[in-house]
Amino acid sequence: MFRTHTCVELTAKEEGKEVTISGWVNSRRDHGGVIFIDVRDRYGLTQATFNPKVSKDAWEMANGVRSEFVIKVVGTVALRDKDMINPKLKTGEIEIKATEIEILNTSKTPPFDVSFIPGEEGKQVDAMNKVNEDLRLKYRFVDLRRRRMLENLQFRHEVIYFMRTWMKKRGFMEIETPILTVSSPEGARDFLVPSRLHPGKFYALPQAPQQYKQLLMVGGIDRYFQIAPCMRDEDARADRSPGEFYQLDIETSFLTQDEFFDLMEPLFGDLTKEFTNKKMLFEKMPRIPYRESMLKYGSDKPDLRIPMEIQDITEMVKDCGFSVFKEVVEKKGVVRALKVPGGAKLSRTEIEKMTDEVKTLGAKGLAYIIIESEEKFKSPIVKFLGGELTKKILKEVKAKAGDVVFFGADKHEIVEASLGATRVNIAKRLNLIDTTKLAFCWIVDFPMYEWNEDQKKIDFMHNPFSMPQGGMKALSEKDPLEILAYQYDIVCNGIELSSGAVRNNVPEIMFRAFGIAGYTKEEVMDKFRGMVEAFGYGAPPHCGFAPGIERTIMILREESNIREVTAFPKNGRAEDVMMGAPSVVKSKQLKELHIKLDL
């Protein structure tokens, strides 16, 4: 037997019992000839003492153990002396007076310290917090022993278990979909898998189970979900893992968009209550049209905890004396203002730094007015605007003494990006974000299409499988760039958790929608034959979305990097430095797959 108890279970109630524990050597100390070893497993710490008067053999063997050795200890539970009790440990009242020790395995010196130390409320914390990430990823099997990683993975497990239970209670069926599938244009590059049996042909790893889950709807499965692995060949970000990630993939039949929202919103409220001490900022999630979100927040994933909105003042300044604003309006651009409460405290250096930041987003600069009093302003542009217009603008944005107003003037895309970034950066600098809240919202009414400047053509803005608002009539009669789609995102605290849509389930409408984006009927059939053919056999109205597992856990757990909630992540260069992937393969393997490396 390796253990009768874990390293967190023993208390004063077990006094006098013979027990067995197993784990890693967290620390070893020698005091007055008695050896103290803290034994660690994923649950916690237990102290074992080795006294030559109790067992000389055990004492001699304990003398040779080192950090991270794997050991088994047999002994009797005893109460610690009062002055030796550690109230910060759940096992701090007791120790094991060891009679036997077995070294189950030795260990090299770890590349970094993974030991626990007692924290508050009986919890353990990592002795060493700051470790080089590349080193952590190379030795991930060691890194996983750290308290933070163990707790994050336990948290992830509990969240996923909660999701599964929640979905089952609401009539959803969990179904696995294929991993080897067909390549399709879904927004990112595919990972391709060559076929040995079919030379020159390739499978693709799924970017999402999009087509399969829609086919399940055709098959009569009206409520489907899956903890789905998704593979996309895209660059890394703090909230995006390069290569692979998981999502709570969901699809439903016979629900309108609003009915779907009403069904799924409680999931996020329940997750918040179960796994955080935070409050939902909104009892019912706001539903914000895409264009309104871009105007007010400069982003389609707004952080609604920030008490600032961008306002359009284009009409107000179209005939003003400030040539920069006037010329932008004449070129069909926009002028927008962002009021920052208490922003007058920003230093000139901080304002210059923010100006440099927006220049990287394409803006030419960042005009501003600092309001020192009702009649006194500090600004390089007031003399051009004139006192009357300046006061009119400040009244419009409800600015008062102590505030600052920033201005963006350019094409709407540049103004949105620059003022949106400024809004977030200033909120962080001035501590305007209420970190006790989770601000969920829906972004709705996305444009169906956008102009692809690189290819000089109309392209899908997001999901090509979405139903256009207005159906065939809109596709036939409206300017494509004015057509809205039944597409939506769910956003929390400035992070997009998921995109979703009411699906296009009518083949004729689908052909027309793809045709506007430049696809022929033959190309659509070639790419999506299985789904298009299935839709000819009675596809019900259906909709869904797929919240990212890692992103959801990041928010609930208050982690800033997706790699902290993933057991074996890739680094920022999409490399698995522990396993050595991607790697060179033998020429024999390439030959079997009919692949020749000749670029």
In a domain, 271, yes or no: yes
**In a shared domain, residues 320 and 375:** yes
Measured CA to CA, the distance from residue 514 to residue 465 in angstroms comes to 9
**In a shared domain, residues 229 and 160:** yes
CB atoms within 10 A of CB 526: 12
In a domain, 406, yes or no: yes
pLDDT, residue 223, reads 99
**In a shared domain, residues 97 and 146:** no
Model confidence at 319: pLDDT above 70? yes
Q: What percent of the chain has pLDDT over 90?
A: 83
**In a shared domain, residues 242 and 110:** no
**In a shared domain, residues 275 and 139:** yes
Instruction: Give the H/E segment covering residue 265.
Output: helix 257-275
**In a shared domain, residues 178 and 268:** yes
Rounded to 5°, the CA angle 498-543-216 comes to: 110
Instruction: Tell me the pLDDT tens digit for each residue of 113-154.
Output: 999 988 876 677 888 888 999 999 999 999 999 999 999 999
**In a shared domain, residues 102 and 143:** no
Of 124, 149, 166, which residue constitutes the final position of a domain? 124
**In a shared domain, residues 274 and 323:** no
In a domain, 439, yes or no: no
Question: Mean pLDDT over all residues of the chain?
Answer: 94
- Please state the separation of Cα 44 from the chain's center in Å: 29
**pLDDT classification of 375: cutoffs 50, 70, 90:** confident
pLDDT, residue 24, reads 98
- Per-residue buried b or exposed e for 456-492, using 16+ beta carbons within 10 Å of the residue's own CB: eebbbbbbbbbbbbeeeebbeeeebeebbbbbbbbbb
In a domain, 66, yes or no: yes
In a domain, 508, yes or no: no
pLDDT, residue 122, reads 65
**In a shared domain, residues 157 and 246:** yes
Structure tokens at 71: 């050991």
In a domain, 492, yes or no: no
Of 433, 457, 481, which residue constitutes the final position of a domain? 433
Contact at 8 Å (CB) between 276 and 435? no
CATH number at residue 414: 3.30.1360.30
Model confidence at 188: pLDDT above 80? no
Contact at 8 Å (CB) between 22 and 72? yes
**In a shared domain, residues 271 and 214:** yes
In a domain, 328, yes or no: yes
Of 391, 410, 433, which residue constitutes the final position of a domain? 433
Domain of 568, in residue numbers: 134-279+540-599
In a domain, 464, yes or no: no
pLDDT, residue 599, reads 61
Looking at the 3D structure of the chain, how many domains does it have? 3
CATH number at residue 207: 3.30.930.10
**In a shared domain, residues 141 and 119:** no
Calculate mean pLDDT across residues 240-269. 95
Contact at 8 Å (CB) between 69 and 40? no
Instruction: Tell me the pLDDT tens digit for each residue of 1-39.
Output: 999 999 999 999 999 999 999 999 999 999 989 999 999
pLDDT, residue 550, reads 96
Instruction: Tell me the pLDDT tens digit for each residue of 63-120.
Output: 999 999 999 999 999 999 999 999 989 999 999 999 999 999 999 999 999 999 888 7
Contact at 8 Å (CB) between 244 and 230? yes
**In a shared domain, residues 138 and 120:** no
